[in-house]
Amino acid sequence: MATIKDIANRLGVAVSTVSKGLNGAPDISEDLRQLVLDTAVEMGYKTKRMRKEELKKLAILVENMEYLKEDDFGYDLVLGFEQMAYRDKWDVEVVPINARVQAKERYDTYMLRHGYSGAFVMGMALMDKWMDEMNRTTIPTALLDNYVKMNTNVGYVGTDSYEGMSIAVAKLVELGHSKIAFLNGSPNSMITNQRDEAYKAALIEHGLEFDEKLVAHGYYVAESAPYYVPGMISAGATAILCGNDLIASGVIDECKKRGFKVPQDISVVGFDDIPLASQLKPALTTIRQERLELGRLAFFTLDSLMHKIPVSRTMLRPEFVERKSIGKAKK
């Protein structure tokens, strides 16, 4: 392992300067401190704090996702991860991140500076700066819903969209639907792309034709519905699959507003099964992600990576939860 002296030699500065940089002393410029940290990471240097076994700390980094309230999508993910981590005597810190944090510091440097041995990263978008750094990071990292090629330090944890879509479309076909629309979420995410592909695969599996007029990308919010539902209904849709439950709640509202009954006129299926789903009127039929279990699997994936077992992906089966928002296709 590199020593402080190695770092000093490489940078051509005094050992004391490196030491100041590593320990965040105030009498050194921010630029130099950053350079010292970046070089330390690059050379595989670990601070004393990190080397001490008793300081075992993991991070859950959260972006674009609510997690504080029981109804939030991220709540059970955090809980499941923490449950497993505490059993293994890890401390877990949940840290919201954003573009500013990512612009300021490299991912590896951030992790080293905080003494995190690994992270579970939830909600990162494809265009994020740190997402690109995931291709090269040396920090064990479990990524929710994001896949990185080749890097043995990073594993992907998620729910099998293909199986979920396949079950949902099978059920709708059984109910006589053949014009099944799909209102998906924001395009700049791996999971959106995966669900698009899963939707297409499910149509093929059930002998239905793909019709561009029946698909659209909004955002993962209820407000997407008014923009796309009218067009889908004009194009003959009798059922609308949604990228998540929030979109579905907007779709139900929009259908009602336009005088269409759910499920008598239009069947609606959500994705995720957040607590809201069962409280909608009608109660939402949805493709459930077992978020508590997903959080637990994320810990397992991270634990494997920290033990140098290069898990590439761990997938959970979704569950089709049938409630009141789907019915027989209107003739």
Asked if 201 interacts with a copy of itself (CB under 8 A), we say no
Asked if 163 interacts with a copy of itself (CB under 8 A), we say yes
Sign of CA dihedral 212, 218, 220, 222: negative
Closest CB to a copy of itself among 238 and 289?
289
CA-wise closest residue to 40 among 105, 94, 128: 105
Torsion angle, alpha carbons of 110, 111, 115, 118, to 10: 170
Given 103, 149, 234, 259, the residue binding a copy of itself (CB under 8 A): 149
Given 319, 321, 324, 330, the residue binding a copy of itself (CB under 8 A): 319
Closest CB to a copy of itself among 164 and 250?
164
CA-wise closest residue to 285 among 220, 330, 241: 241
Closest CB to a copy of itself among 65 and 316?
316
Sign of CA dihedral 204, 208, 213, 215: negative
DSSP state of 210: P
Q: Minimal distance in Å, beta carbon 71 to a copy of itself?
A: 22
Asked if 160 interacts with a copy of itself (CB under 8 A), we say yes
∠ CA 190-125-63, rounded to 5°: 130
Closest CB to a copy of itself among 73 and 156?
156
Asked if 195 interacts with a copy of itself (CB under 8 A), we say no
Binding to a copy of itself in span 30-59, by CB under 8 A: none
Asked if 312 interacts with a copy of itself (CB under 8 A), we say yes
Asked if 166 interacts with a copy of itself (CB under 8 A), we say yes
How far apart are the C-alpha atoms of 12 and 309, rounded to whole Å? Answer: 37
Q: Where are the beta strands (DSSP E) in 20-169?
A: 57-62, 91-96, 118-122, 141-144, 154-159
Q: Minimal distance in Å, beta carbon 84 to a copy of itself?
A: 11
Q: Minimal distance in Å, beta carbon 319 to a copy of itself?
A: 8
Phi/psi-derived region of residue 44, left when phi > 0, alpha when psi is between -120 and 50, beta in every other case: left
Closest CB to a copy of itself among 161 and 224?
161
Closest CB to a copy of itself among 103 and 150?
150
Asked if 22 interacts with a copy of itself (CB under 8 A), we say no
Asked if 87 interacts with a copy of itself (CB under 8 A), we say no
Q: What is the Cβ-side half-sphere exposure of residue 250, based on CA atoms within 13 angstroms?
A: 21
Binding to a copy of itself in span 282-311, by CB under 8 A: 290, 293, 296-297, 300, 304, 309-311
Amino acid letter for position 128: D
Closest CB to a copy of itself among 177 and 291?
291
DSSP state of 300: H
CA-wise closest residue to 271 among 177, 164, 174: 164
Residues that bind a copy of itself (CB under 8 A): 149-150, 152, 160, 163, 166-167, 290, 293, 296-297, 300, 304, 309-317, 319
